[in-house]
Structure 1
Amino acid sequence: MAKIAEPAVVRRASVTDAARVPAPAARSGPAPLAAIPAAQWRALAERAIEPNGYYLPDWELAVDASARDRVAASALGAWSDGARLIGLMPAVSMWRACRIPLPALVSADPYGTLCTPLLDRAMAEDAAAGLLEAARQAGARALILRAVALDGAAMKAFGEASRRDGLRPRLLQSHARACLDATGDADEVLREALGAKKLKELRRQRNRLAEHGAVHFDVARTPRQVAAAVETFLELEASGWKATRGTALGQHAGDAAFIRRATSALAETGQCEIVSLRAGDTRVAAAIVLRHQDRAFYFKLGVDERFAKFSPGVQLTLDLTRHLCADPAIRLADSTAGSDHPMINPIWRGRLGIGDVLIPLRRNDPVAVLIHRAMTLREFARELARWTVRSIRRHEKDTA
């Protein structure tokens, strides 16, 4: 297997000469995420040209500490004048990310499906160039940005930095996922998305749910409220099909520890809410929502499946839509869901282009070409597997 160092943090002597500045000996070895000064990381997040709630320090450090199969990522960083952090991307080796033994670095999975690096808006291209150089210093021949917003400001900065060095980014895969333009009127947004007939049916279901007790939408914001609400969320998520599949956070001690730590820490800075729907004293649905700059991120949803016929997840999402549209601080909500998500797609009709992008780190590098081919074959195999599973499920449904 090809050897590659976990990425070092590259301190830069000047903003304009990033590509030629070597990593100082003091920082040339592996750099754990915890080595990044927390104050610097938080300050960069506030200045980031594009928000990403899943790379906020309190979230990603909690993931890195205990989340299953996601611990011990390294820091790929860029610094201005050796002192100010202007770019940061948690990263892992290609072997760890994809089980492919080639010298590339891949953005680390932060549990949420968004890996957009944090780039200082005042010098985004230089920050992107610094991250590319940090990857070179670690011995990588390519940098793979997973799950990035393809039309976002961060990807544009990487594109410009790559062209400046004569490099050509390559798209590995792309898809569109649901998002909400939260600047509109919620009632109009829902009426246009669902239509009068569907909304009438949902109101009927809500009235039926109210037979079990008055229906209330609650928002936990303070650290104490969030600490209590996250336990309700964990119980609800582990009570349904996610538990059957083994994907509920509460089923794994490390995952549960991560989500408790992350939500409480982010609540301290007003960057996490847990929304829930209750009928009387019974919580029937709960979801975690992260906030970064003017964007909200709909992380995960848990429902009490005893109330499934009343569509508690949909009911909660309708109230969340109204909640976000009423908040002037939020302009966009990212569902962070799959491209074919059956619940959120009909409700949030906006779409974000998300994809994986490979950036070669040297011109005309045959190793980078090999990495690209390996990733292309991997994506083909994954898509074939997904198609096969869908076909089997359709056949089982048709023959049932």
Structure 2
Amino acid sequence: MEFSAIHIPVFDLNTAEGATAHQRAWRHLESRATLPTQHPDFVAALRPTLLAGDELALFQVESEGRFEAVLPLARSRRAFSRWRLAGDDEVFEPGDVLARDSVAAHRLATLVARERRPLIMARVPASSAFVPELREAMRGRGLVDIRPAPPCPTIALDESWGEPESHFSARRRSDFRRAARRAAEFGEATFEILTPTPGDFDAAFDAAIAVEAAGWKRAAGSAIACDPRKEAFFRAYLKAASENWNCRISFLRLGGRIAAMHLAVELGGRHWLYKIGFDERFGRCSPGTLLMLHALGDAARRGIKRFELMGDAESWIADLWTREAHPCVQLRTYPFGPAGAAAFAADSARWTWRRLARVRR
């Protein structure tokens, strides 16, 4: 592959120059984005919160002043630490290279393959053009391990979803009606799907995370409010999205009190649902279910093409909402050399231990 006229620098994302380069790359490649985690606002919010103190680098390919491909990576500053997709460990949402085409993905894969440090991308769409390109680029330079990762639940919407109940069985529709009757016992049910501006974002966000903290997630320690760094990340990320009118905060109120909430963004004609929560005081009427039904119908009526449920394909999602999911893979590289060998030994020991644990069970 000829690289003349191709500039392949690696920017430090902890500098203003790196952050500006990432924003410029987004303007060049926005039409190729398939995930909200590819937006520079996602990494910009991670940098001072969940990735504070880590090294952050933007691996990128630029040709004749035009960005062709970018990949934001992070690593701790410990010896032998490996590169990982920014946000992998901290948020565990799907991520991918942002590339103009397969040629650009190949050039970026070649750059990454020249790294002496191993790489892990914990949850990449199985359809990513970068996966086969990196496997090819690593030949003669190291080993590549690709294995299944948790898929991403999705619901394909069309006009019929304007009445979402019609997509469920008679038994489920009966459950929905029962939940609505029970909700009425708490007072009038009202729904809000807000597109907050930066000026009114904080009040809406505070109300949403207070609802989540009033549910089972606080006891489990997974509520946003339980982790100040995670709260700071989501506040920064979603507030940045509100500047472009992409943030969505939804509420179900019963008798004027907030019973359930959603935190989401909309990009590329898709509704990306990051967080849900409900107040357990209203649990007997399944407020989360009622809000989800309303959100699906609203999205379909506004022409949204897909409703993406971020996070894992948990059993409650498959049992009630959808069994359709985008398959994902986990990608690991082990360059020939001390760092790659150390990473391979550590991973091999971990996988062996897990297999033994399964056999013992």
User: TM-score, structure 1 length as denominator?
Assistant: 0.76
Report if the CA contact (8 A) 1:177-1:336 is conserved: yes
> What is the match of residue 123 of structure 2?
147
Q: Is the 8 A contact 2:84 2:119 kept in 1?
A: yes
TM-fit CA distance, 1:213 = 1.9
- Summarize deviations over 1:236-268 as a string: whole Å, max 9, x none: 111222222332222333322222222121011
State the one-letter code of the partner of 2:160. D
Deviation at 1:354, TM superposition (A): 1.8
1:329-379 CA-partner distances (Å, limit 9, x unpaired): x322221232334246521231121221124557xx897576456435435
More strand as a share of residues: 2
- Structure 1 runs not aligned, ≥5 long: 1-15, 392-400
| CA gap 1:200/1:173 in 2 versus in 1, 3 angstroms | same
Q: Are positions 1:375 and 2:331 aligned together?
A: no
Alignment: residue pair count = 355
Partner of residue 310 from structure 2, selected from 336, 344, 353: 336
The one-letter code matched in structure 2 to 1:42 is W
- Displacement, 1:209? 0.6
CA contact under 8 A between 2:7 and 2:62: conserved in structure 1?
no
**Contact between 2:69 and 2:99, CA under 8 Å: does it hold in 1?**
yes
| 2:146 matches 1:171 | yes
RMSD: 3.5
1:156 aligns with 2:139: no
| Mapping of residues 1-400 of structure 1, within 5 Å | 17-18=2-3, 30-32=12-14, 34=16, 35-37=18-20, 39-44=23-28, 46-48=30-32, 50-67=33-50, 72-81=54-63, 83-93=65-75, 102=80, 104-109=82-87, 111-121=90-100, 123-134=101-112, 136-137=114-115, 139-140=116-117, 142-151=118-127, 155-160=128-133, 162-163=135-136, 166=139, 169-183=144-158, 185-186=160-161, 190-192=165-167, 194-223=168-197, 224-328=199-303, 330-343=304-317, 345-359=319-333, 368=340, 371-372=343-344, 374-379=346-351, 381=353
How far apart are 1:280 and its partner, in Å? 2.6
Structure 1 residue 284: Cα displacement? 0.4
1:222 alignment partner, SS class = coil
* Structure 1 residue 83: Cα displacement: 3.1
Aligned-partner Cα distance in 2 for 1:248–1:71: 24
Q: Given that residues 90 and 107 in structure 1 are in contact (C-alpha distance below 8 angstroms), is that contact kept between their aligned partners in structure 2?
A: yes
Gaps of 5+ in 2: none
Tell me if the contact between 1:284 and 1:303 (Cα under 8 Å) persists in the aligned partners.
Answer: yes
Cα distance change of structure 1 residues 283 and 340 upon mapping to structure 2, 3 Å threshold: same
Residue identity opposite 1:74 in structure 2: L
Q: CA deviation at 1:72?
A: 3.5
